[in-house]
Amino acid sequence: MATTAMGAANIGTGHRRVILASSLGTVFEWYDFYLYGSLAVLIGKHFFSGLNETSAFIFALLAFAAGFAVRPFGAIVFGRLGDLVGRKYTFLITIIIMGLSTFLVGVLPSYSTVGMIAPVLLIVLRLLQGLALGGEYGGAATYVAEHAPDGKRGLYTSFIQITATFGLFLSLLVILGTRMALGDKVFEDWGWRIPFLISSVLVAVSVYIRLQLQESPVFQQMKAEGKHSKAPLTEAFGHWKNLKVVILALLGATAGQAVVWYTGQFYALYFLTQSLKIDGTTANLLIAAALIIGTPFFVFFGWLSDRIGRKSIVLAGCLLAALTYFPIFKGLTHFGNPAIETAAASAPVTVIADPNACSFQFDPVGKSKFTSSCDVAKTVLAKKGIPYRNEAAPAGAVAQVTIGTGTIESFEGGGLDSATFAAQSKAFGTKIGDALKAAGYPEKADPAQRNDVMLVILLAILVLYVTMVYGPIAAWLVEMFPTRIRYTSMSLPYHIGNGWFGGFVPTIGFMLVAWKGDIYYGLWYPIIVAVGTFFIGLLFLKETKDVNITT
């Protein structure tokens, strides 16, 4: 697809080689990074099995987000190196670090084998992945943009933007192929490690490809003339004139771009599996189909940004996403698991409890005991993925769960020994389960009721928003900063936006859902960020498509 598009755009052979080499290497890096995100549920079971079920999933998402959290530090370290030494050798280093850390995840012992050492080592490897990826994107985008002729930077760099989706798509294909070859049970026991081990082959190919590249001509000329920066960190962040642009690039461009991106791909995948109870294979296939439909639009919007500008397209994508997320995700419920929608309308679930007795049930070390009657009730509902409302009860009252017109009283677990608490929790859970079943709440999505065509259409719309915000973003960022500190300057706002604002979308979203009981409540986070970016970008950022980037 990428080769065909480049041919249609009349990109020269030399430039085509630069784009393909940079893009393929980045595809493999994103493949490595996305494996964890796609397998977060299974990883939670193997590496956080000592925690309660809700905490295990949230902590697995936090470990996923940990890789995003350190990306800005990778941007600083490798961005500085890229502005001092060069673009080519810097992203050779990043891909080696990325591939090695991903391979090691595939051989890491689980919690049942080595206890708490397992999640600690997993997080260390995730941090290394994040550091490497923090140095990758800025180098690839800068390298391609500095090869591009005037008037085609949006088109050229849009192929770098495709790499993230291709990387996700490749990871999904390998996961699905491995699962189908081994069967669900074997895959969930140990087969999930195979996609991580395959990364060793991919990284070898990537390193070979990167070794064929020559240094950016813009950087070579600048270094030959002695104009390259001797202190890129100081110039990029120590001078208010440039630091101001870095801050505005973050808040007015990359923060909104990031939350739209991660909502449209990762959060949508988790919503299908966790909230709608669609099986993992089907959910991955639906996402993959949407990606196939949407991916060419990365190039289209990159090309279009060369004609009408980067700013208007990115900000329009943020605004459209913010305005339509709620109806789209409600549509996913309607077409993905209509039984949940029907049951929630005919027999709504309400937790009536003293608000002071309800905990925010996140236990990162597995030591807390959620034994209040409110916590007991919410734990059961969270495990079953049931949407519910909250209603305040008088202080000290025992929590109750109403399902339609029926009411089930919870129990106070404080002071009970472990065996008694477990027995009463099981009995309470059985009562809730029977009442939910009688009210029409499904344990799993019924394939016969699912409308896959409409699901793919809705998911493709989410991907279309991703292409709007992500297709032109590399060219926009490259054009904001001078050559001598470009790698450093553009990498930091990109990776704070995508690492912190975007990477935490699944974690924050599902923590909000667990807190409120509303399966759509997590959407407020990306909506608020996207709206903020729209207004900040509209008011304070300039259009850059016609600037000279050789200075």
What's the whole-model pTM score?
0.83
Q: What's the number of CA atoms in the CB half-sphere (13 Å) around residue 202?
A: 27
Residues 6+ apart with CB under 8 A from 113: none
The DSSP output letter for 252 is I
Give the span between the Cα atoms of 408 and 469, in whole angstroms.
47
In a 3-state reduction of DSSP, which class is residue 393?
A: coil
In a 3-state reduction of DSSP, which class is residue 503?
A: coil
Name the token pair of 402: 């109403």
CATH of 2-337+446-540, one of 1.10.3720.10, 1.20.1250.20, 1.20.140.90, 3.40.50.970: 1.20.1250.20
Q: What is the 3-state secondary structure (H, E, C) of 162-180?
A: HHHHHHHHHHHHHHHHHHH
| 340, 276 Cβ separation under 8 angstroms | yes
Provide Rg for the chain, Cα atoms. Answer: 24
Q: Where are the domains of the chain?
A: 2-337+446-540, 341-438
List the pLDDT tens digit at each of the 551 positions of the chain: 444 444 445 555 556 767 776 777 677 767 876 787 678 778 878 887 766 666 666 677 677 667 777 888 888 888 888 777 766 778 788 888 888 888 898 898 988 888 878 888 888 888 888 888 887 777 778 778 887 888 899 998 888 878 777 887 788 789 889 988 998 889 989 999 999 898 888 778 878 877 776 666 656 666 666 666 677 788 888 889 899 999 999 999 999 999 999 999 889 988 998 889 998 889 988 988 998 899 899 999 999 999 999 999 999 999 999 999 999 999 999 999 999 999 999 999 999 999 998 887 655 444 567 889 998 998 888 778 789 999 999 999 999 999 999 999 999 998 888 899 989 999 999 999 999 999 999 988 999 999 999 999 999 999 999 999 999 999 999 999 988 888 888 888 988 998 789 878 887 888 788 778 889 999 999 999 999 999 999 999 999 998 887 76
* Phi-psi sector, 229: left (phi>0), alpha (psi -120 to 50), beta: beta
| 137, 98 Cβ separation under 8 angstroms | no
In a 3-state reduction of DSSP, which class is residue 259?
A: helix
| 129, 101 Cβ separation under 8 angstroms | yes
Rounded-to-5 percentages of helix, strand, coil across the chain: 75, 5, 20
Give the span between the Cα atoms of 15 and 368, in whole angstroms.
57
Q: Which helix H or strand E contains 488, and what residues bound it?
A: helix 486-496
CATH class of 341-438: alpha beta
Domains 2-337+446-540 and 341-438 share a fold: no
Strands 349-353 and 400-403: antiparallel
> In whole angstroms, how far apart are CA 72 and each of 128, 238, 354, 525, 539?
12, 16, 42, 21, 25
